[in-house]
Structure 1
Amino acid sequence: METKKSRKSNFITVSIIALVGIILIFSSFYTYWNSAPAEQTCASCHEISSRVTSLSHSAHREVSCKECHGTALSNGLHSLKEKAMMVIGHLKGKKPDEVRMNEEQYLAVMESCARCHTSEYAKWKSGGHSANYSHIFLDEKHNSVEQLNYDCLRCHGMFYENSIDELVDNKSTKGPWNLMDKKKATQPTMPCSACHSIHVDGEIAQIPDYANPSEIFYNRDGKTPEVSFYVRSEKIHVPVDLLSKPNITHEGKNIMVSDDPMMRNCVQCHAPNTFHVSATSDDRTPRGVHEGLSCMACHEPHSNDAKNSCIKCHPSISNCNLDVTTMNTTYANTDSPNNIHWVSCTDCHTDGSKKSVFAQNCICTEQNNPDTQ
């Protein structure tokens, strides 16, 4: 006759065997899922298959999905719950036409970007595009002049899922202003994904043909920029080579705009007014002595630093016999009336006389400027 003690012992034994079995089954499935090709795992769900296909044509084709998106256990219970809800939704028939990440997930992916692209991430962190929600939406100087509105989120908060009404408690030009969700304060408004999609078409960098030196530099095939602009209203990334070249006017005439497709990305946010007039709204399209230049000719990628921009093109002494870095422009002095983006010769040489103009408008001395002597 089975005793109470033996029944308890049998129950414990069976429980241990069942637990070990569950662990083995789960471990085997988890190991398979993380080692099998994406076509047999992620792409097996039709909602994800298009993303896997696009990844196979990108420069990240050799990077596995989990390297960027993590696994069900990457972030403990949080990611386990998130993935479980996706499976439950799938089984219930809630199958979206296209799977899209929310802002929290985009920011999580950005941490994955930083692991590989450490230099680019550090430069982005040091530049203006790393501004967070507090920097942008609690700026008293800006908010008192321009009223907060929906269009702010087109560039500053592309992945924010709600409206401006749910972001800031006051949209008038009279403060104070406060973020309704305090967690947003330190979150970046322009993360990596604002200009980059890891699924965009692109080629893996190749070692050049050292047997043909000319192929390394002069005759090397051009590489399509792997940059894209995220359109908040459509929730899609548009590659820069598919963006329209901007048409900018000054005094009723079209100005020359660079053919650099990267500049088309810049002008999406740094855009002129409805009539495309140069220097209106946030437009910084070069004109004057810099007409035709691309933004990237002066600004470093990711950091947007333009500190060394002059030396890239100019000798130390210009045609005016002056160091261009000390001329009376916003490059040398932010309070200068001569904006470096559209400064022209006539801004200083108003009457054709170098002597009078140099003395009045240029940051120089008679000792280093022979024309004023």
Structure 2
Amino acid sequence: MAIWGKKNKDKDPESREDRKKVGLIRGLWRKFRGIDWKNPVNRWKLLFVSLVGCIVVFGGGYGVLTMTNSPTFCSSCHEMAPEYSTFTASAHNQISCVQCHIKPGFTNMITHKMKSVKEVYYHVTGVPKQIVQTEEEAVSNENCLQCHSKNRLVTASGDLKVNHKGHIEQDIPCITCHAGVVHAKMASRGINVEEVRGKWTAESAEKLMEKKYLRPNMGTCIDCHDKVNNGVKPWKEAAYSVPPNPEELEKKMEESKKEGSSAATTETAAEATTEATHEGATTEAEALAEHDQKTQDIILQAIGKQQKDVKLSMACETCHKKVKVPKSHKVEGWNGNHGGTAIQELDKCVNCHQDSKWFRAIPKEDIISILKMKETKTKYVPNITVVKDQSRINKFCSACHSNRPSGHVDSDKWLTAHASKAKTADQKSECFVCHDRTKPIPGSTQVKAPTDVYCQYCHRTGFKSDKKK
């Protein structure tokens, strides 16, 4: 308190011993109370000190907020390398991270900063195996509408017709469709885990950010529309718009394993998985069967065979102004005669007929394999075996291959007439696209055929070609 001058000894009756007994804070408070506030000089001095204090506190606070709001600050932690590298390679690299990840408003900013203290704790004590956005911190429509207009009916490509305003008025989160616009759905793909964070660089980000993961895929639209047609509004649950947290899912699985017998454990584990992935089945087998049936039905609806009297049509023309179907597909009998084209141009076929476009679920990927594949730029070589495997793996193909072709006529006639269609090895290979030669072994890693009819069901003594050998 020297700035206000020494106090008059006569007005300070306390002895030296008394002052020693008083604490520092209490002593300062007594001196502060002893200041003559009637003196205008002292009041001006107080104002000056207060102004300096405010400048230091608020200026320092603003500096800290500005620093922590910078993308560069985010990149200072190694665990954020995947997120930062994709951000710099995205179309949103001219805005800061907080413009998307923190709701507008000073209160939201401060609240978020306080919650972010736990991230510092994790950084020091142990970084999570995978960074996954939580339901509470999901990007809100408020953030998107700071820059984007909701009065948008046509996308930049000019082909799609999407009523953005109608979706927003239904409280559908923007990230339900645009989840990969910045980070290419890396969490769902499983390529931002601790083991591979060092592989994320500005160069690798360009390779890993494929367009199919940046843009909304058709599977997202189909899945949501299908649920609406069944009376469900999936976006009402925040978990529908964010990827499941693998660590939470793992904990649920571990907890379920500790309860009951092995049979009960399996059922409980399936329920935990079901809850995390929003599936309705109670066992793995039932979930797989239900998934296969549902996806095949959805595919048939997506190609124009949707059910009648539905709330949301899945016909292509509903969302696309102009559907570009190759001329070769418009030839009569194309559905039954496209095998030769598939063998020669499989790489072109999968540009449209790939599961990642038609299904909402994102398959897990291996970042090392992706980078190597990008570096080698392997060229497709016509191979019937590759085509066969693709036709079985690809749900779009298997949806039709599981149906009996029109060329097979009636069963009784086909059984006695199909031998001439399978004389050569090439002809047989075409049959094996849909049929297995021998009975599938349960639990085998072999890709399941789209039909359960296999050759040795009737040819139990083998084939003539085998006997000649």
Do the structures match in fold with TM over 0.5?
A: no
TM-score range, shorter chain: 0.3 to 0.5
TM-score scaled to structure 2, two decimals? Answer: 0.32
TM-score scaled to structure 1, two decimals? Answer: 0.39
Higher gyration radius (CA): 2
The structure carrying a bigger helix percent of its residues is 2
